[in-house]
Amino acid sequence: MEIDNVVCAFCGCVCDDITVTVEEGRISEVKNACTLGRAWFLGHSSNAHRPSGTVNGRPVSTEEAVEEAARILAQARYPLIFGLTSTYCEAQKEAIALAEVLGACIDCCTSVCHGPSGIALQGVGEPTCTLGEVKNRADLIIYWGSNPAESHPRHLTRYAVTPKGLFTPRGRKDRRVVLVDVRPTPSARAADIFLQVKPGKDFECLWALRALIKGIDLEEDAVADTGVTLAQLKDLADRMQSCRFGMLCVGQGLTQSRGKQMNTTAVFLLVRELNGFTKFAAMPMRGHGNVTGIDNVLAWQTGYPFGVNFSRGYPRFNPGEFTAVDVLTRQEADAALIIASDPVANLPRPASGRLSQIPTVALETRESETTKIAKVVITTAPAGISAEGTVYRMDNVPLRLRKVLPSPFPSDEEVLSRLLERVKELKHA
């Protein structure tokens, strides 16, 4: 059976034009997806062989695993809830309610991908748009610290570089594409211009561009040791000011390098100022399928997009204090609930090591580095394959994930709802 218009939840592009073929209870073919999306659908099409749950490595029912998880979390003095980027908004909402009942810290992968973009947004605002506007209007695309050819392949072909739009009828021929990065990634082949910045010198280049578009006459010394020349930056500044609609795509090369939120603040200020000359927008290249969703849901519910602490009974936000890497590295968290994420593989060792020392509960669709160390594992249905719900594309457009395969396991939302009720009972007992 062929199912059209399926939504891919692997990366922040959230492509909603995928066709999957289901045969004999598994996905046998995937059309329209990129190589990453295709691997995601095929790799998650069956987890039926897994136990419903484990406690200390011993297979148990979902109910037993939920009971043990509730006991651990209810007893904890400073629990951490983390992950949430590869599940859907309805499940995220339950996790936030659970964090409030527990007085927990709740953080998502945003803090280790585009947290610095969120901090910059709070400071100076984010002049942005939808990917539809990019497709239909943008004639200058700048990828800065981003390698879409390997991280978001269809960003190039569906939204930003090659598609034909209302005011870009010739597609690629109507656009100029600039890549700014510290190395010539495979994305350089898709660009007309590649500027190779030295590591840690992005801020200096962005600040020089701000000066140039304000008409300030810079000396070559101003950009010495950045890897690019003043002439290259002047050319880029001219292109930015003279385009009809510019788009600056913000990659993790800016958020994870020296400068972090100062880099992204410089981007948003630059783009804000470019709107004095033309129409210009910026957008973080969000990685995980619903990382934008958890930022939105957390912001609706608490006022803050990541790193939220409920220990005083009301939400507080302070990156560096309530963010997962910090709470774990300082060995403050005494229990953890990890949802749809693999922090043991991806967080720095001083933080991930703490998860092995404390009772950790993992809701996951498949084996991961985190499930290997977790005291309690609860297997759930993969969102977008065996569970439906709302996800947010990187441009904050909500889309509905579809269920294309049955699953013997409950969804993240169902498990979190049960966990919330049981924790409430234990807290009130």
Partner 1 sequence: MPEGKLILITGRSTKQGTGLNKGKDSRDYQEAVRTLEMNREDMARFGLRDGDLVKIKTLYGEATFTCRQEKLPKGMAFVAYGSLSSRLVGGETHASGMPDSKGFEVEVVHLPRGD
268 binds partner 1 (CB under 8 A): no
Report the nearest approach of partner 1 to the CB of residue 142 (Å). 18
Question: Between 242 and 318, whose beta carbon lies closer to partner 1?
Answer: 318
Contact stretch for partner 1 (CB under 8 A) within 17-25, 74-82, 322-330, 385-393 = 322-330
Question: Between 342 and 412, whose beta carbon lies closer to partner 1?
Answer: 342
Over the window 271 to 310, marking each residue x when it contacts partner 1 by CB under 8 A and - when it does not, the resulting string is: ----------------x------------------xx---
Task: State which amino acid sits at residue 314.
Answer: Y
Locus of tokens 């043991």: 344
256 binds partner 1 (CB under 8 A): yes
Task: State which amino acid sits at residue 328.
Answer: L
244 binds partner 1 (CB under 8 A): no
Report the nearest approach of partner 1 to the CB of residue 420 (Å). 26
Report the nearest approach of partner 1 to the CB of residue 418 (Å). 28
Over the window 328 to 367, marking each residue x when it contacts partner 1 by CB under 8 A and - when it does not, the resulting string is: xx------------x-xxxxxxxxx-------------xx
147 binds partner 1 (CB under 8 A): yes
Judged by CB under 8 A, which of 50, 93, 135, 260 binds partner 1?
260
Q: Using the CB atoms, write b or e for 278-312: b if 16+ within 10 Å.
A: ebbbbbbbbbbbbbbbbbbbbeebbebbbbbbbee
35 binds partner 1 (CB under 8 A): yes
Reference 163, options 151, 172, 154; nearest CA is: 172
Report the nearest approach of partner 1 to the CB of residue 18 (Å). 14
The token pair at 218 is 């810079």
* Cα-only R_g, the chain: 22
Question: Between 265 and 390, whose beta carbon lies closer to partner 1?
Answer: 265
Residues contacting partner 1: total by CB under 8 A: 59
Rounded Cα gap, residues 148 and 134, in angstroms = 15
Report the nearest approach of partner 1 to the CB of residue 184 (Å). 6
Report the nearest approach of partner 1 to the CB of residue 66 (Å). 25
215: number of Cβ within 10 Å: 7
Tell me the sheet residues that pair with 339: 83, 363
Rounded Cα gap, residues 336 and 334, in angstroms = 7
Judged by CB under 8 A, which of 10, 143, 203, 310 binds partner 1?
10
Rounded Cα gap, residues 91 and 107, in angstroms = 14
The token pair at 300 is 């609706």
Q: Within 13 A of 200's CA, how many CA atoms are on the CB side?
A: 2
Rounded Cα gap, residues 60 and 378, in angstroms = 9
Residue 301 parent element (H or E) = helix 291-302
Question: Between 319 and 359, whose beta carbon lies closer to partner 1?
Answer: 319
Judged by CB under 8 A, which of 92, 368, 386, 390 binds partner 1?
368
Rounded Cα gap, residues 309 and 297, in angstroms = 15
Map residue 218 onto helix, strand or coil. Answer: coil
Over the window 149 to 188, marking each residue x when it contacts partner 1 by CB under 8 A and - when it does not, the resulting string is: xxx------------------------------xxx-x--
Rounded Cα gap, residues 122 and 119, in angstroms = 5
Nearest 5°: the CA angle 409, 337, 368 is 60
List interacting residues with partner 1 (CB under 8 A). 10, 35-36, 39-40, 42-44, 107, 111-112, 115-116, 119, 147, 149-151, 182-184, 186, 196, 199-200, 252-253, 255-258, 260-261, 287, 306-307, 319-321, 323-326, 328-329, 342, 344-352, 366-369
